Chains A and B, each alone.
Chain A
Amino acid sequence: EVQLVESGGVVVQPGGSVRLSCAASGFTFDDYTMHWVRQPPGKGLEWVSLIIWDADNTYYADSVKGRFTISRDNSKNSLYLQMNSLRTEDTALYYCAKDIDPYSSSSNFDSWGQGTLVTVSS
């Protein structure tokens, strides 16, 4: 059974930094593109970033580009999101999600974690 477990959510001041982690199990992690998706309280979903299976390519939403960095450690079956220069509008539940097919990169996310909450507030 595929499992994705996020951690690292915290309350942080504007301008601060946070590192989120996502521990993956139940599938061959290094065969799959992984994504971060966020959801502000009471609002819709926003795609944040993706990292290809071999970590050679990463992409970011315009709203986070230059502030967030996605990475992965395939030896630890783990996905990360380093979030710097945080703003109040970054307050959200952050999900990690898995692409449906190996060696592909799509908008088809067949497994999601339960999310970790980041609150940016003074």
Chain B
Amino acid sequence: SSELTQDPAVSVALGQTVRITCQGDSLRNYYATWYHQKPGQAPVLVIYDKNNRPSGIPDRFSGSISGNTASLTITGAQAEDEADYYCASRDSSGNLRVFGTGTKVTVL
């Protein structure tokens, strides 16, 4: 199976832009999905199929991919964006799914 690696933590000033990255070999062949999770709550889908947002997700969230690295960008971070963020994708075989190690985003 493949691994998806994320930075453990990032911080961003209120209203500024932050980029969260997810690195893994399988991302050369498969899209990344992004979730956020607040304490005591289930994960919420934020970005899928590289840069699609489900209904209800603000357009300050966007996704991109370059080589083996997927990125989630929050443009104009809000206090409510403080959460753990996880990427996900398929493994190198394409049959299994894998989550990234997670990034804790703090909004200052």
Contacting B at CB under 8 A, from A82-122, are 95, 100, 106-110, 112-115
Distance between Cα atoms of A37 and B37 in the complex (Å): 13
Partner-binding segment picked from A8-16, A18-26, A45-53, A70-78: A45-53
Cβ–Cβ contact B88 & A47, under 8 A: yes
A-B contacts, CB under 8 A, total: 66
Cβ–Cβ contact A95 & B42, under 8 A: yes
Mark each residue of chain A from 55 to 88: 1 if its CB lies under 8 Å from any CB of chain B, else 0: 0000111100000000000000000000000000
Q: Is B71 an interface residue (CB 8 A)?
A: no
The dominant DSSP class at the B interface is strand
Cβ–Cβ contact B101 & A44, under 8 A: yes
Q: Given A107-B33, A108-B48, are A47 and B97 also a contact pair (CB < 8 Å)?
A: yes
Q: Is B25 an interface residue (CB 8 A)?
A: no
Cβ–Cβ contact B86 & A108, under 8 A: no
Q: Give chain B's interface residue range (CB within 8 Å of chain A).
A: 20 to 34
List A contacts of B102 (CB < 8 A).
Answer: 44-45
Binding site for B on A (CB under 8 A): 35, 37, 44-47, 50, 59-62, 95, 100, 106-110, 112-115
